[in-house]
Amino acid sequence: MPRGACLLVVDADAERRARIAAVLGREIEVVACADLDAARDALEAHEVDVVFLDAVVGASDGVALCAELRRSRPLVPVVLVASSKDQEIAVRALRAGAWDFLSRPFPDPLLREVVRRAVDNRRLRAEVRELRR
């Protein structure tokens, strides 16, 4: 994982946020939020490289935040997460601009790989944008 990378985790479930931080905390800065308002604040306060977003955050629709992020921060990959029975959400997420979709439960090595690829993608896209200038 590139040094100085930052992952924003948006999930209402404290145990899931803690698990992701435990798995990735030594490799990447992890900022965890329980709701969409806190996520918006974190996006303003941190240079976020990738957003790991639950499809349903409390009573809020994570897919809507995904679409909002695609408009406001087009270089930041959004990985949407939902339970394996929510395949309709996967379709909505990809249409909203999600970079990837994971079904819960997922193994730790897959989590690491998806986040690593997303961070690499964000860095490459930023570099291409800079070179085009």
The whole-number pLDDT of residue 90 equals: 80
- In this prediction, residues 116-126 reach a mean pLDDT of 92
Q: What is residue 105's DSSP assignment?
A: S
What is the per-residue pLDDT across 51-100, written as a single tens digit (0 to 9) for each? 999 987 776 788 888 888 889 998 999 999 987 677 788 888 888 889 99
55 Cβ partners below 8 Å, 6+ apart?
Answer: 61, 62, 63, 80, 81, 82, 86, 89, 93
CB 24 within 8 A of CB 112: yes
The whole-number pLDDT of residue 18 equals: 96
CA distance 132 to 36: 33
The whole-number pLDDT of residue 107 equals: 95
The whole-number pLDDT of residue 57 equals: 79
pLDDT at 22 over 70: yes
Tokens matching residue 115: 């986040």
In the numeric block, the tokens 């930041």 are attached to: 76
pLDDT at 47 over 70: yes
The whole-number pLDDT of residue 108 equals: 95
What is the per-residue pLDDT across 8-19, written as a single tens digit (0 to 9) for each? 999 999 999 999
**What one-character-per-residue DSSP string does 59-103 give?**
TEEHHHHHHHHHHH-TTS-EEEEEETT-HHHHHHHHHTT-SEEEE
